[in-house]
């Protein structure tokens, strides 16, 4: 019983919150309906329905028109003030990425024999992780294992 009444309270406050959020919409809809009713109360019911429909459609039309205009203006502002900044930041990130890429590739370029035991290494199939690395680094990745010990490693080379 106590639990039920608590739930009830919760629901009530949730409804109030929704009402507060949409107070404007509720009020506008109420005013529109009453206003249109007052204007067209003498007309036939068919005409009334038609006019309510027409008013709603033109209201929605102007609402979306304004919304579109706002979005377009915002995009214009972004274009004017921020696009050069965004380009500079992108170039900086690209340069950082290139530097990281070069260092990673340089670290894995020299693999001609096993670094553990010095024996010959053999090329084997790459797994999906190594294919992903190849895709991210935009470089050739080869997978190797040692013939004598348990060494496994990759070799990374820049595309020529």
Binding site for Zn ion (CB under 5 A): 114, 116-117, 119, 146, 148-149, 151
Closer Cβ to Zn ion, 114 or 141, answer by number: 114
Q: How far apart are CA 62 and CA 66, in angstroms?
A: 6
Minimum CB separation of residue 112 from Zn ion in Å reads: 12
- Provide the pairing of β-strand 152-158 with 121-124: unpaired
Distance of CA 159 to the CA centre of its chain: 32
Minimum CB separation of residue 143 from Zn ion in Å reads: 15
Closer Cβ to Zn ion, 90 or 119, answer by number: 119
Minimum CB separation of residue 122 from Zn ion in Å reads: 10
Calculate the alpha carbon distances from 77 to 34, 46, 86 in Å: 40, 47, 13
Closer Cβ to Zn ion, 97 or 118, answer by number: 118
Minimum CB separation of residue 113 from Zn ion in Å reads: 8
Closer Cβ to Zn ion, 90 or 148, answer by number: 148
User: Which residue from 110, 121, 120 is spatially nearest to 152, judged by alpha carbons?
Assistant: 121
Q: At what angle do helices 2-21 and 23-40 cross, to 10 degrees?
A: 60
Closer Cβ to Zn ion, 72 or 119, answer by number: 119
Q: Tell me phi and psi for residue 117, to 5 degrees.
A: -125, -5
Minimum CB separation of residue 119 from Zn ion in Å reads: 5
């Amino acid at each position: 019983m106590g639990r039920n009444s608590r739930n009830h309270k919760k629901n009530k406050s949730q409804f109030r919150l929704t009402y507060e959020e949409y107070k404007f919409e509720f009020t506008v809809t109420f005013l529109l309906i009453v206003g249109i009713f007052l204007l067209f109360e003498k007309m036939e019911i068919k005409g009334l329905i038609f006019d309510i429909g027409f008013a709603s459609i033109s209201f929605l039309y102007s609402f979306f028109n304004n919304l579109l205009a706002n979005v377009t203006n915002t995009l214009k502002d972004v274009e004017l003030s921020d696009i050069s900044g965004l380009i500079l930041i992108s170039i900086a990130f690209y340069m950082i990425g290139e530097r990281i890429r070069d260092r990673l590739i340089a670290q894995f370029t020299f693999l001609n024999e096993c670094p553990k035991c010095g024996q010959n290494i053999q090329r084997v199939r790459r797994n999906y992780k190594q294919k992903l690395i190849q895709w991210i680094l935009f470089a050739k990745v080869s997978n190797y294992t040692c013939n004598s010990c348990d060494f496994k490693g990759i070799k990374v080379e820049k595309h020529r």
